[in-house]
């Protein structure tokens, strides 16, 4: 796997901050623009997923197989569960990720502008086995995909 080593070495050499600065300089990431986006206080403070969906206006979201949610069936570590959302729905302008059983279910909300590809990957903390929900907004309509991720105490296998 020499390729991996090379890739890792290059990134180490560049330094993660350096790489990020380069992206920011190139206009790929605009911190100011991100922080300037409207902070939906109600949605992030809602204590159940129904409340979150209401706050972002997605109560009547429908399932769509072009909205793909990738999560493990059983979390290897509940503290850092990899969650990936890819929307193949044209004109997707936002993606929200909810962990239903967390005290504050809304974990992330992304806005996409100027044709940015609606693909995000995050690591989320799960206190217990929970449904994960991805909600995408496209042309004013809301779409949802969901899957259960099991969090277990471990041991005893095999």
Partner 1 sequence: MSSMNRREFLQMLAAASVAGVALDSRSLLAAENADALYELPKFGNVHFMHFTDCHAQLLPIWFREPSVNLGIGGAFGKAPHLVGEHLLKAFNIKPGTREAHAFTYLDFAEAARIYGKVGGFAHLATLVKRLRGQRPGALLLDGGDTWQGSATALWSKGQDMVDACKLLGVDMMSAHWEFTLGDKRVQEIIDKDLKGRIEFLAQNVKTTDFGDPVFPPYAMREMNGVQVAVIGQAFPYTPIANPRYMIPDWTFGIQDENMQKMVNEVRAKGAKVVIVLSHNGMDVDLKMATRVTGINAIMGGHTHDGVPQPITVKNSGGQTLVTNAGSNGKFLAVLDFDVRNDKVQDFRYKLLPVFSNLLPADPGMAAYIDKVRAPHITRLEEQLAVTEGLLYRRGNFNGSWDQLILDALMDVKGADIGFSPGFRWGTTLLPGSAITFEHLMDQTAITYPYATLNEMKGERVKVVLEDIADNLYNPDPYYQQGGDMVRVGGMSYTCDPNAKAGNRISDMRLNGKPIMAGKTYKVAGWAPVDPTAKGEPIWEVVGDWLKDKKTVSARKVNVPKLIGMKGNPGIA
Of 86 and 97, nearer to partner 1 (C-beta) is: 86
Residue 28 has a CB neighbour count (10 Å cut-off) of 10
Name the helix (H) or strand (E) containing 11.
Answer: helix 2-14
**CB 60, min distance to partner 1, A:** 28
**CB 152, min distance to partner 1, A:** 5
Interface residues with partner 1 (CB under 8 A)? Answer: 1, 3-4, 7-8, 70, 72-77, 82, 129, 148, 150, 152-158
**CB 137, min distance to partner 1, A:** 25
Name the helix (H) or strand (E) containing 7.
Answer: helix 2-14
Q: Is 75 exposed, middle or buried (0-12, 13-18, 19+ CB in 10 A)?
A: buried
Residue with tokens 């972002």: 56
**CB 128, min distance to partner 1, A:** 10
Of 88 and 154, nearer to partner 1 (C-beta) is: 154
Backbone φ, ψ for residue 80 (5° rounding): -140, 80
What distances in angstroms separate CA 121 from CA 29, 60, 68, 96, 118, one per listed residue? 15, 25, 12, 12, 10
Of 117 and 156, nearer to partner 1 (C-beta) is: 156
Residue 94: which region, alpha, beta or left (left: phi > 0; alpha: psi -120 to 50)? Answer: beta
Of 22 and 37, nearer to partner 1 (C-beta) is: 22
Of 3 and 26, nearer to partner 1 (C-beta) is: 3
**CB 157, min distance to partner 1, A:** 2
């Amino acid at each position: 796997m020499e390729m991996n080593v090379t890739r890792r070495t290059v990134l180490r050499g560049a330094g993660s901050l350096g790489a990020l600065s380069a992206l920011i300089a190139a206009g790929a990431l605009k911190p100011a623009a991100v922080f300037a986006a409207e902070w939906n206080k109600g949605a992030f403070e809602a204590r159940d997923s129904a409340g979150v969906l209401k706050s972002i206006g997605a109560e009547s979201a429908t399932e769509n197989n072009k909205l793909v949610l990738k999560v493990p069936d059983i979390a290897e570590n509940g503290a850092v569960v990899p969650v990936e959302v890819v929307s193949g729905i044209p004109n997707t302008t936002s993606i929200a990720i909810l962990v239903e059983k967390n005290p504050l279910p809304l974990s992330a909300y992304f806005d996409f502008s100027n044709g940015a590809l609606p693909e995000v990957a995050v690591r989320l903390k799960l206190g217990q086995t929970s449904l994960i929900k991805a909600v995408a907004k496209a042309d004013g309509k809301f779409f949802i995909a969901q899957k259960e991720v099991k969090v277990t105490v471990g041991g005893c296998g095999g």
